[in-house]
Each structure stands twice: as C-alpha cells, then as structure tokens.
Structure 1
Amino acid sequence: MEQAVAAADTAWMLAAFALVSLMVAGLALFYGGMVSVKNTLNMAMMIFGALAVVGVLWIVVGYSASFGDSLGGAGLLGDPLEYFGSEKLLDAPTTPGLPPAVFSAFQLLFAALTVALIAGAVADRMKFGSWMVFAGIWALLVYFPVAHWVFAFDSKDGSVRGGWIANDLKAIDFAGGTAVHINAGIAGLALALVLGKRKVFPNPPRPHNLPLTMLGAGILLFGWFGFNGGSALSAGNAASVVVLNTLAAACAGMIGWLVVEKFRQGHATTLGAASGMIAALVGITPACGAVSPLGALIVGVLSGVVCCFAVSLKFRFGFDDSLDVVGIHLAGGILGTVLIGFLADPGAPNGVAGLFYGGGVDQLWRQTVAALAVLAYTFVMTIAIAKGLQLFGGIRVDDESEESGLDLAVHSETAYVLDHLDVPAKTGEPADPVAAAEAITTRAVAAAE
C-alpha cells in the first residue's frame, strides 16, 4: 500500500514539474507581448537565460544551499557541500516516498522563475551579459538563502535542521509568497532604482502584442496549478484543495481588476484581465493551503483590486518598473502573505486559524515578520549586487542601443520579418522592419480609437 501511494505521489510530482516547466515559456510570452516590438526577443532571452544560469547553479550548489542541513543550526543557509553536484540525489529513497531527484527538479524551476520575474522590472534597458551575471549572483546570495528560510523544514527525527521562517517563526508560505513573489518584487524595485528610468518614461510604448500576452497569461494559469498543487508534495486532498483555491482566486482577481479599471478609465481591457488574473495567482500562492475556497475568492478579488491601484505608484514615485513587477508581484505577495493571518481556516490543509477564525493575532504577526524579513534582506542585497556590477562594466545599454531596440543591438535579430509584407507605408515612415512594425501598431491603435 505504501509503495502504491509513493508511486502516485511521484507521478503527480512529475506531472506538476511538467506543468511548472511550461511557465518559463508562458512568462516569456506574457512579458514579450507587453514590451515594444523592438525588445521582444531580448525579453524572452532574459527569461530563458535566467533558467540556464540558475539551473546550472542549482545542480552544483543550489539544492544543497536551499535544502541541506542548516549551517550551525542557525536556519540561515543550508550546507552548500552536503549535496554538492547533486550526486546524492541519484539514490532512491530507502523507504517508500518521493525520489529526491524529482523534488530537486521541481524546486529548480521555482528558483529559475523567481529570478526570471525580476526581468520584467528592467525591460528595454539592461545589458544582457550583466543580466546573466546578476541572475547567477542573485540566486547564490539571495534566492538560495531565502528559499532555505522558507521552504526547508526540519526532518521528523530532528537530524536535519531547516530554515528559521519555516521552523522557528512558523509563518505559512505554501508555495512562495515570500520566497518567490516578495523576493522577486522587491529585487525588481531595487534593480530598477539602480538602473534608472528608460528614456521614454513616463510614456512607455504600448504593448506590441496583447494576444501574445493573453496567451502567456493562460499558460501561466495552466502552470500555476502545478506550482501550487505540486507544493503539496502528494497526490491527495491537500493538492486538490490547493488547485481549487488557485482557480477560485484567479477568477475573482480578474473580476476585481476589471471593475476597478472600468470605474477608473471607463474600459475593461485585455491587459487588465491578464494582469488581474496574475495578481490573484500571486496573492493565493502563499495562502492556497491555508484558506477555504471562499477565503480564496476574498484573497483573489483583493489582490486584483489592490494591485490595480499599486501599478500606478511607479508614476507617483518616479521609479520605472517596466512591466509592473513591483505593482503585481511585490504588492500581491505581501497582501497574500499577510491575509493568511486574517483568513486562515483551520479546516484547510495547513490547519491554522487566523484572526477571523478565532486564532487571534498569533499567525498575523508571524506572517508580517516573514514578509518584512524578506523585504529588508533582499532589497539591501540586490542594491549591493547591482551597485557592484555597475562599478565593474556597467549594467545599462547605451542610448543608441536603447533607441534602436535590444533585439537588433544585442541579439542581431528581429521578432517579426515584415519586409516582404504588402503593407503600404505612409510618407515619412521608415522602411526597416522594426520601425515598420511600430508604425503598423500605431496606425491600428489610432484606427481603433
């Protein structure tokens, strides 16, 4: 019987891994459609580049630093040599259970996606080489330690010591509200501040391909069921509740964003629908195992509403968060993490009562401390990493490259080949493919208006 259960759990985790792996392409499409036609390929390269760098580091030292026995029992960092090179992960479990290799592969994607999310905050202006170096250093100095704090639990027999947030603080983060979304969101803010504003800010180019963004959002929703559901680590009731809560929140978040958008701007847009859904998915990520389906609706709609307002803060405070990483991932991650302290239902898989269920403020202060700790550590470390890279070679492209677009300037490619299309150009419009694509987009928008 135990072997059959272990086999079912392993099968579910392999399926969840496959779902999450598709989120890499989904994020590339989601971000890629939101940038100008001149930077689409660069955006995709930043996402896949993050996967490549973080994946290599994870195999060598990342898994060990994240899930190894805590150095000195302090709960700050796993022993980086315990699983160095991941060779120990070849061994099958001595008792029926999850093979460590599938767990490592699953968590590798968490690490890569967290780093990739940061790219959206610095789109259109960061050197690709500097981004690749930043991705590696940030994973080593920020993600791996924070993942240890949040995801590494003490072993049942006490022989392996995990992270301080998971075991000492006992904050709840089912699938990465702190380690993934707050972590990436505050890092995006720090890196954007060091990098500076785009030349076109505060009037950035329109998203060049909203159908691409919507497709990316749909793929991200698909993958998120593996992201959250797989974090249950078993094919049972917990995963089922988590998947239901994830979908419920996504639906409510979309409605919340669109309602605010309609009242503020008079239109409910496709970009708003996609953004509201992603905001809700961010909010429910830490809470998906702690709340009821009704609680998931509340988390979702509040995430959609709050994040819709939060994305406009960059114009008020003057920081250039290109694709709203701060407004969606930072704001949504904080909201979802803190709401657990209010909405946690003891009948949910985590089995903890929040303020509204008779638990008082006990869980609320734990959630708040966890969020603040990740905010402070990641902001300071990211600023330090970015400043260091700025001193050694710089991190921003030159003005000419920013103007011409990074697809051509950095990668010597364009996303679309338009020179053979029978599209008459107006007098004075440039004939090169990139400029032609922008002219076509401008005319289409003008005609629609």
Structure 2
Amino acid sequence: MSSPLLTTLAVAEHNTGDTAWLLASAALVMLMAPGLALFYGGMVRSKSVLNMIMMVFGALAVVSIVWVLVGYSIAFGDDVVGGLFGDPFQYLGFKGMLEDVVSSEGGLPVTAFAIFQGLFAVITCGLVAGAIADRTRFGTWLVFAAIWTILVYAPIAHWIFDFSAGEHVGGWMANKLGALDFAGGTAVEITSGASGLAVALVLGTRIGFGREPMKPHNLTLVMLGAGLLWFGWFGFNAGSALSAGNTAAIVFVNTLMAGCTGCLAWLLVERIRDGHATSFGAASGVVAGLVAITPACGFVTPLGAMVVGAAAGLVCAVAIGWKYKFGYDDSLDVVGVHLVGGLVGTLLIGLLATAKVGSVDGLLYGGGLDQLGKQLVACLATFAYAFVVSGLLALALDRTIGFRVDEEHELSGVDLVIHAETAYDLHAATGGARPHLGGGGHLGGSS
C-alpha cells in the first residue's frame, strides 16, 4: 500500500471522505469475487461450471472468516520474528479494533482498512482455484483455503504491506528490502500463480489434458466476468491509495490504460499467430494488463501504465501455451496470466517508476539498477515461499483426506457428483400444458 496504516491505534478525528472511498473500494473488491466466479465459470466445461463458481464463493466465505479471526493479526500485527509474520493474537477476532478507533495517520477506521485487506486475501485464494478446475474435492478445497490463508497469504501480506511506524515493526520486504508493490503484484498475483502451480502439480493433469479440447463452454459469462473484474479493479488499485486524492486519481487512470493496452496487445498476438482476434483473447488481455499494473499503478505515469499493460498482454498471450510444453495442467491459466503478469508488473517498477508519481526513480528515469534488484528479490522470495508451502499443504491434504475427485466422477462431471446440480436444464420442454406453480410461487417438480 502507498502509505502505512499505523497499528498503534489512537482515537482521532474521522476523515469521512477517505473512509467513504475506502468502504466503497472494499465493496468493489468484494464484487470481484462473483466476477471471478463468472469469469472462471465460463472458462470451464459445462459439466463443472457450478463447482468452479462454488469454489470461488466458498473461498469468499472461508477466507473472510479466517481473516477476521486471525489472518489480519498475522498480516498487520506487531512483528514477531525477523519481519516474517505478525502476532497472531494481537487482533484476534478484531480484538481492540471496534471501540471507534482510527489510525493516527489519515483518520481511517481500522476496521475499514482491515476488511479491505481481507478481501484482497479472498480474491487471491479464489484465483488459485482456477489452476485446479474440473478435478477438485469441494470440502478439501475449503480446508485448503482456510489453512492457506494463515500459512501463505497472511505472512506474505505482512512482508510487503505492513509498514513500520512508531513502535510498530512491519514486514521485511517493505521495510528492510525496500521493494515496492502498490496493490498486490507479490501478495496477490505472484502468490496466487505460484500457489496454483504447486497445487496443480500435486493434483496432476485432468483426464484427457493435451489430447481432448477443453474449450470455454460459455464466452458470454467470460466477458461478463471480465467486465466485473475490471470494474472491481478500480477499487482494488485506487482504493489502495487509502485516500480520495490525487494518488487515487492517477492510479485510476493507470488501471484503465493498462487494461486497454493489455487487451489490444493480446489481440495482436492472436491475430498474428492464429489469424483471429477472439473475445476470449480480449477478456484475457484485459486481465493480463490489470494484473501487471497492480503493483506498478502508484509509481508510473499513464504512458508507463500503457507500456506495462502492453508488455503483459504480449508476454502472457505467449505464456499460456507453456503448460502444454512443460506438461503442467494449469486449467484456467493462472500461471500464464497471474504469475507471469505479476512478475512483469513488479519487475517493470524497477524500470518505469518515476518520482513524479511515486517515491523513487526506476532505471529509465535515472534511478539505476538498485530498485530493479530489490523488485527481483521480492519476486523470487514470494514465488519460492508460496510454491513450497502451498505444495506441501496440498500434498498433506491429498495424502490424508484426498484432494482430487475419483476418475469416474471427473468424467461424469463434478457438478452433479459433488453438488447434485447442473448449471443448465437441457431437457426438452414439454408442449401444451402450463407449468404447475408450487408453494411459494416456485415451479413445481424437481430442480
């Protein structure tokens, strides 16, 4: 985040304008969860669309609860050891945060900041689900989401988002290393991509991967989901300014510009490579541009944001094909878009950052290689930790309670097996008779 929210609390005057913007931004980030559910739901095959949507909604429920109980305290509590994680008991269940306390800098209610950050955790966990679509046990996924939030997301958020202030000591990456990440290139994008890759490797490839076509079943849902994600992303990025001022306005513009250039760059790759510019490519390019600008949005100019978005669109359009080359089954291209896009955006800060917008100059603005080196260390550390811990957690769950559905259930479709539902009623309509209205106004008969 661009400015620290002090965890040493003091009663102060409320800044109602900034508070309103932060709460609105939190609501926009929350909207990204159903947006992601639709985006991913359209990308899978029709026999598993409900399961995919449920995995994202399940993450919303589980991660939010874990965040209030202990996640926020691990991420933003007083550092326990070496800048690695905060005191898990300091704000247990939002303890000590409800007595109308605000930060001593900015006049923001701490609960507003805390829940805004919690919704970042939600969307990050939801992204991981895309890497393991079509083959995952729902119950095990919920267990994974809870433990993963505690062991993976919250510590990394502490590293990069928790700034030292006064007597409060924050994370090592932001305070000792000096890496820059405005809204989550490390904690959200690289973390979700690395985690998704690790879990996908543990679960193995889908039946028929690389041999059978596994195309999106509903591109209308994909486009609708992408639009909701783009809308929510303004809260995700501009809300991270923690104030309704000039920084938020610049970030807003940068978020729009990167999404636009990401879209066009992806379409250009498709047109040259495949001969067609597709709606699926447009949606994917928008998301790639948004992913890459997330860490950089508070440090680059609008022209820089266009470069970031275009670079991500070009690179990610190529990167999604790596899974076929290397044999890992990242179902919905979490690695190709979020991991690769997060790396692109985080590293480009070292080149394109300018003190006219943020706090430092990158290489192209005369700042030398120092910041680029810091960004590289942050990328490598985030990837290594998220990949290893997520992989070990997935392996432990798979060996104990089972993480992957049975082969016959995967073939028949996880929607019917796990949820006893199907997304679409494809039965032929009976002619003539009017439907019987049952109790409460619902159509009678089986659902």
- How far is the alpha carbon of 1:419 from its aligned partner? 1.1
1:187-230 CA-partner distances (Å, limit 9, x unpaired): 11010001000002013422111011000000000000000000
**Equivalent position amino acid for 2:144 in 1:** F
Q: Tell me, in whole angstroms, the C-alpha distance in 2 between the residues paired with 1:286 and 1:352.
A: 14
1:30-64 CA-partner distances (Å, limit 9, x unpaired): 00000011111100110011111111111111110
Q: Which residue of 2 aligns with 1:433?
A: none
Q: Structure 2 residue aligned with 1:89, among 66, 89, 97? A: 97
Q: Which residue of 2 aligns with 1:340?
A: 349
Contact kept? 2:14, 2:108, Cα under 8 Å: no
Distance 1:402 1:92, change over 3 A: same
Q: Structure 1 residue aligned with 2:406, among 386, 398, 406? A: 398
Q: Structure 2 residue aligned with 1:98, among 108, 114, 126? A: 108
SS at match of 2:317: helix
**Equivalent position amino acid for 2:272 in 1:** F
Q: Does 1:208 align with 2:217?
A: yes
Contact kept? 2:300, 2:354, Cα under 8 Å: yes
Q: Does 1:126 align with 2:126?
A: no
Same amino acid, percent of matched pairs: 57
Q: Structure 2 residue aligned with 1:407, among 401, 415, 434? A: 415
Q: Residues 255-404 of structure 1 correspond to what in structure 2 (within 5 A)?
A: 255-348=264-357, 350-404=358-412
Q: Which residue of 2 aligns with 1:198?
A: 206
Q: Tell me, in whole angstroms, the C-alpha distance in 2 between the residues paired with 1:204 and 1:78.
A: 46
**Equivalent position amino acid for 2:288 in 1:** A
Q: TM-score, normalised by structure 1?
A: 0.91
Distance 1:4 1:65, change over 3 A: closer
Contact kept? 2:59, 2:145, Cα under 8 Å: yes
SS at match of 1:338: helix
Q: TM-score, normalised by structure 2?
A: 0.91
- How far is the alpha carbon of 1:254 from its aligned partner? 0.3
- How far is the alpha carbon of 1:418 from its aligned partner? 1.9
**Equivalent position amino acid for 1:38 in 2:** K
Q: Tell me, in whole angstroms, the C-alpha distance in 2 between the residues paired with 1:400 and 1:204.
A: 19
- How far is the alpha carbon of 1:393 from its aligned partner? 2.0
SS at match of 2:46: coil
Q: Structure 2 residue aligned with 1:243, among 249, 252, 255? A: 252
Q: Which residue of 1 aligns with 2:162?
A: 152
Q: Tell me, in whole angstroms, the C-alpha distance in 2 between the residues paired with 1:148 and 1:63.
A: 9
Q: Tell me, in whole angstroms, the C-alpha distance in 1 between the residues paired with 2:198 and 2:95.
A: 36
Contact kept? 2:14, 2:109, Cα under 8 Å: no
Contact kept? 2:33, 2:123, Cα under 8 Å: yes
Alignment size in residue pairs: 417
Q: Structure 1 residue aligned with 2:189, among 172, 181, 185? A: 181
Q: Which residue of 2 aligns with 1:162?
A: 170
Distance 1:421 1:269, change over 3 A: farther
- How far is the alpha carbon of 1:351 from its aligned partner? 2.0
Q: Tell me, in whole angstroms, the C-alpha distance in 2 between the residues paired with 1:4 and 1:266.
A: 59
Q: Tell me, in whole angstroms, the C-alpha distance in 2 between the residues paired with 1:261 and 1:111.
A: 32
Distance 1:91 1:126, change over 3 A: same
Q: Does 1:45 align with 2:65?
A: no
Q: Which residue of 1 aligns with 2:87?
A: 79
**Equivalent position amino acid for 2:373 in 1:** W
Q: Tell me, in whole angstroms, the C-alpha distance in 1 between the residues paired with 2:379 and 2:171.
A: 15
**Equivalent position amino acid for 2:363 in 1:** L
Q: Structure 2 residue aligned with 1:66, among 61, 64, 75? A: 75
**Equivalent position amino acid for 1:79 in 2:** D
- How far is the alpha carbon of 1:115 from its aligned partner? 0.6
Q: Which residue of 2 aligns with 1:111?
A: 121
- How far is the alpha carbon of 1:4 from its aligned partner? 8.7
Over 4 Å off, 4+ runs: none
**In proportion to residue count, which structure has more helix?**
1
Q: Tell me, in whole angstroms, the C-alpha distance in 2 between the residues paired with 1:422 and 1:38.
A: 24
- How far is the alpha carbon of 1:166 from its aligned partner? 0.7
Distance 1:199 1:161, change over 3 A: same
**Equivalent position amino acid for 1:310 in 2:** A
1:390-425 CA-partner distances (Å, limit 9, x unpaired): 1102211011110111110100001111214489xx
RMSD: 1.3
1:88-109 CA-partner distances (Å, limit 9, x unpaired): 1202236560000111110110
Q: Tell me, in whole angstroms, the C-alpha distance in 2 between the residues paired with 1:421 and 1:272.
A: 35
SS at match of 1:90: coil
SS at match of 1:38: helix
Q: Tell me, in whole angstroms, the C-alpha distance in 2 between the residues paired with 1:80 and 1:174.
A: 24
Unaligned stretches of 5+ residues in structure 1 = 424-449
**Equivalent position amino acid for 2:154 in 1:** F
